């Protein structure tokens, strides 16, 4: 177990929990909301078996990291990523962001990219490039949708999370074939262990506009997205992110929900390993 101090809130340290395993070309995995780094277990095992060094960490407010009341904006979250990369002195790393984690990838590459540090990037079911509907972003989602989510979390976050995972994994179609009741329960338990304030305040961060960050991406990029994603639809996110990075590769998971890291782990891992090998 290892922790990195990334700041303070009053008298308390803000520490990020991370794991650093294996040898070879490094891969840094950034998890989705509302889970933690344990959600990467299927990707971690495949990467380690292929001879990679794998680094995972719990975003502040989630898992074993500190649960502060502050810092759930993308500038701060990307700075946490930056501090971890600097502390471990990583070079030649592939930065992989799942869902909300894609925002950290975009903001890091838009603001902190140093030559040789991050040499490739992966956006998996990512919230990029911009979810907020506006005059110059007509493909986006009306902000009232996110306010409704926050109200549900405030009213009873456990009931909200229980219902949310039905869409997260497309349980109506995939339950029993691609995901078990036990796996869904494990996700629910992990989400419940997260900080209430993190679960709530991260919703505001989803409205961040990453288009300027993405325009600065110069490294080889892979976009992986399920075409049946009910949480972050492919047309709104994955398709547009790939179009904004002309040199990117796009891998569409047929029938894939938002939680493709679990339901379609074999296909995801194959696409990921193939891309890194290039």
Residue with tokens 């179009």: 243
| Domain range list for the chain | 2-277
Q: What is the pLDDT of residue 113?
A: 82
Helix axes 181-192, 143-168, angle to 10 degrees: 140
- Measured on CA atoms in the order 146, 150, 155, 159, is the torsion positive or negative? positive
Which stretches of the chain drop beneath a pLDDT of 70? none
Q: What is the pLDDT of residue 115?
A: 87
**Residues 144 and 132: beta-carbon distance below 8 Å:** no
Alpha-carbon gap, residue 164 to 30, rounded angstroms:
21
Q: What is the pLDDT of residue 159?
A: 98
Q: What is the pLDDT of residue 189?
A: 98
Task: Supply the Cα-derived Rg of the chain in whole angstroms.
Answer: 17
Tokens found for residue 204: 């505001």
Residues catalogued as catalytic:
99, 229, 258
For the domain made up of 2-277, give the CATH fold. Rossmann fold (3.40.50)
Alpha-carbon gap, residue 153 to 175, rounded angstroms:
25
Is the overall model pTM greater than 0.85, yes or no? yes
Give one word for 63, left, alpha or beta, with left for phi > 0 and alpha for psi -120 to 50. Answer: left
Alpha-carbon gap, residue 256 to 2, rounded angstroms:
34
Q: What is the pLDDT of residue 182?
A: 97
């Amino acid at each position: 177990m290892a922790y990195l101090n990334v700041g303070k809130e009053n008298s308390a340290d803000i520490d990020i929990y991370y794991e650093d395993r294996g040898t070879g070309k490094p891969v840094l995995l950034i998890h989705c909301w509302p889970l933690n780094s344990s959600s990467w277990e299927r990707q971690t095992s495949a990467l380690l078996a292929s001879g990679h060094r794998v680094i995972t960490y719990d975003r502040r407010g989630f898992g074993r990291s500190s649960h502060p009341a502050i810092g759930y904006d993308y500038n701060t979250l990307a700075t946490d990523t930056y501090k971890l990369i600097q502390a471990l002195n990583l070079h030649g790393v592939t930065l992989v962001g799942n869902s909300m984690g894609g925002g950290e990838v975009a903001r890091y590459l838009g603001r902190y990219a140093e030559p040789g540090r991050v040499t490739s990037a992966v956006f998996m079911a990512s919230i990029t490039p911009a979810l907020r509907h506006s005059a110059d972003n007509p493909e986006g989602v009306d902000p009232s949708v996110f306010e409704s989510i926050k109200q549900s979390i405030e009213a009873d976050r456990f009931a909200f999370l229980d219902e949310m995972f039905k869409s997260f994994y497309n349980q109506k179609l995939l339950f029993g074939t691609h995901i078990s009741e036990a796996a869904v329960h494990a996700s629910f338990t992990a989400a419940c262990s997260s900080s209430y304030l993190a679960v709530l305040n991260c919703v505001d961060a989803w409205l961040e506009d990453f288009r300027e960050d993405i325009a600065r991406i110069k490294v080889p990029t892979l976009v992986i997205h399920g075409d049946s994603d009910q949480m972050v639809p492919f047309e709104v996110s994955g398709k547009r992110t790939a179009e904004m990075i002309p040199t990117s590769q796009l891998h569409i998971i047929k029938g894939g929900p938002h939680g493709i890291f679990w339901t379609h782990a074999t296909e995801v891992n194959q696409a990921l390993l193939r891309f890194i090998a290039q």
